[in-house]
Structure 1
Amino acid sequence: MELITQAPRGTQDILPGQSEKWQAIEQVLREEAALHGFGEVRTPVFEHTELFQRGVGDTTDVVQKEMYTFLDKGNRSISLRPEGTAGATRALLEHGLYAAALPQKLWYETSCYRYEKVQKGRLRELHQFGVEMYGSADPLADAEVISIADSVFKRLGIKNLTLELNSIGCPTCRAAYTKALQEYFWQYKEQLCETCLSRLDRNPMRLLDCKVETCHKIGEKAPSILDYLCDDCKAHFEKVKEALDALQIAYQVNDRIVRGLDYYTRTVFEFTTNDLGSQGTVCGGGRYDGLVEELGGPSMPALGFGLGLDRLILLMEAQGIEFPAPKKCDLYIASLGDAAHLKSLTLASALRSCGVAAAFDDLGRGLKAQMKYADKIGARFSMVLGDDEITGGKAQVKNMETGEKTELTLGEDFTKEFAALDAAL
């Protein structure tokens, strides 16, 4: 058999056996969001390209190199979303949520698309959970948002994570820092990669995020943003750390974190691990107080984070964390003959309406093949229906683990009797 095509490079199919892991994680994420007062927002998979150019930043790798951008049939430039924050903020503005009670708290679980070099933990279709809070400039809001991710990781049993924290200041104090960076990197102009050279005048902080080894080593000795923070930004950062200390959330200050998107201000953070090789950032976020205004809205502080579900799954598997067992078949009903086949359908339907996972033969197999299938799907109980059982109104239910058999009636009380049998174990 020759397939006409396969899934595009950098994408993955999530199949039964794996999808249950995603569902278990997603349940925890939704519960944590609800506990913190966040409501779900769902945005389109594609947006007008200018949204990401203005919001994410036209000097970022995401916009310059990674976005899937095309002209639609109306000759408009459209891009698949590379991240979730810009779309959520556009929705906030378009629907006037900023004028409602503040803070506005939104969460989303979404797929994002970036044309990247495919490797373990880095796909072209990635899945992201994110939270966005609009309207609060309080440093305690920064700590609250960080605590959501921290709580998720603790509930999932994830270990060996490090919270790295930094402040990249506001436009006022960043002006002096930008000048200092330009002066520093200018000394190494001949050694910088082409991308860094193009950013040296427009956005020198992007040079600190370069993954090219030569540029990375040069950046290690660059001036620290923490030495250039204005008094307000210093005070904000100290209060964030104080709040994290009060919550007993451990952190390390890393003055080289700038994040990969231009909209960040003040607090930035990452949860990182050494258990995934080079793709060690599992969650990243921070504050972006100018984004709402940049996209045409009022001046409004905002903050949030994005958590990569693909890497989260890999990390949990690498750490040997057990996932909840998938729901298995409670009762498999084997049938012999047309009357029994129809009866197995009605019994399975009745059981399912009571929350019992039931299955029956859909392929017209013989009894031996049916029982083999029941064993393959891990059915906890099995029952054989034939003409004798239909006539007598009773059938034997077999415990597939112990072999013990129990006779149940096939009338109206069948579901109650089976539930009682199941509960007794």
Structure 2
Amino acid sequence: MSEPGRRTAGPAPVTGRRRARQAALCAVALVLGTVLSCTPDPGPPKPSLGWGLTHTQYSADVGDAAALKAARESLSAQSLPQNQHLMGWGATNPEPAPGRYDFASLDRRIDVIRKTSGTPVITLCCAPDWMKGGRPGDTDWSRLETAPSPDHYDDFAALAAKVAERYPDVRHFIVWNEFKGFFDERRNRWNYEGYTELYNRVYRALKKVDKDNLVGGPYLTMDSHPPRTTTYASPVKGPWGSIDRRVLDAFQYWNRHKAGADFVVVDGASHARNGETLPDEFTAADKFTAVGRWVRQQTSAPLWWAEYYVEPEGGDRRGGQALDHALQATGMIAMVKGGATTGFYWNPQDRDGRCTRCLWRSTELTDGSGGRALPALDLIRRFDQEFPPGTTFRPVTTTGDDAGSVRVLADDQAVLVVNTLDRPVQVRIDGRPAGLDAYQVRWLNGR
């Protein structure tokens, strides 16, 4: 469902020297006949982007020609925010040796985002080997998650600035990923001082390139423990468990000492660290709401979820794709109720085509099904369309014997209803009857 005045996201804008640089790049592109697209300036970049995806190891840049076309058509059907990492997850080492750059794979990914009218986001992780003790020219992928050493923080910030200059239409940057390499084993806590120092140097470097660049962090994983575990328990808790206090300490330190942030970033899964989804797989998603509300108490900056995972209980596949779909919708509802305005679905495709939770069929398939959109992508597109940033949500009255087993999110235009049971239910939404099949995700008209 769409109506006039609803958000239509577009490529992020450029201003000042970046606009002049983009104009020059566009002119060169036209002369050379390259495929890099040049888009009009849609206005100032916004700190909230809505709901989209992160490109990972396999995506719509490599594969069968027909499958690639199908995948890109699926993505182009609606402009979505699309995130790509600097190194890893589909991108090779961008600076194998000091001053020697290789942006071919990152160029290819950014070009996919441009071609599909997405809003590009770059996560500035990870670091070339020579910034973390390796030999210049070498790339040891087993050390991908090692953080740069403090004496190379400025080098990493300089690389970030180089990236911002190379892609003048990218206006949103996330600094690092999940505090990778920043856990202090000796002190048994996060090295939040080190991360914050790296973050601040990158933040300043990106703002120096263009003050209108939007930068955020800390991209912490909101790990939780089961309710019976008291070690590292925190006040952020519920039937699903308790957020690890060390994570909250890290967030608060960064928040107090950061140079600035245009948005804040977290990630996490509904299950606890031991894999349990408590008290059940759907209620466990309430963790996202609790985390969001806690973050909103710490800062007024918009809240992003860089990754979110809502897993079947014990990895159970009893409900198949219908259960996966219902859990995905439940997780998104929970994040929005916690105040989130942006979220990225991780891993759009696999390689062999067996992934039912992916966004489209593998682009390496040559049987005619490659690149075809899957239900998870349909849900993200509809959710982003109906509930863009700035949506005013309204309370909903749900009645009936199974009312407590239905999740609902609504504004004046649309109502999203999720049946969390493995059997059909009959409920009334604001007095209107609504029947749902087992694990059905259903859209209704608003008031």
Higher relative helix content: 1
TM (norm. structure 1) is 0.23
TM (norm. structure 2) is 0.22
Bigger Rg, which one: 1
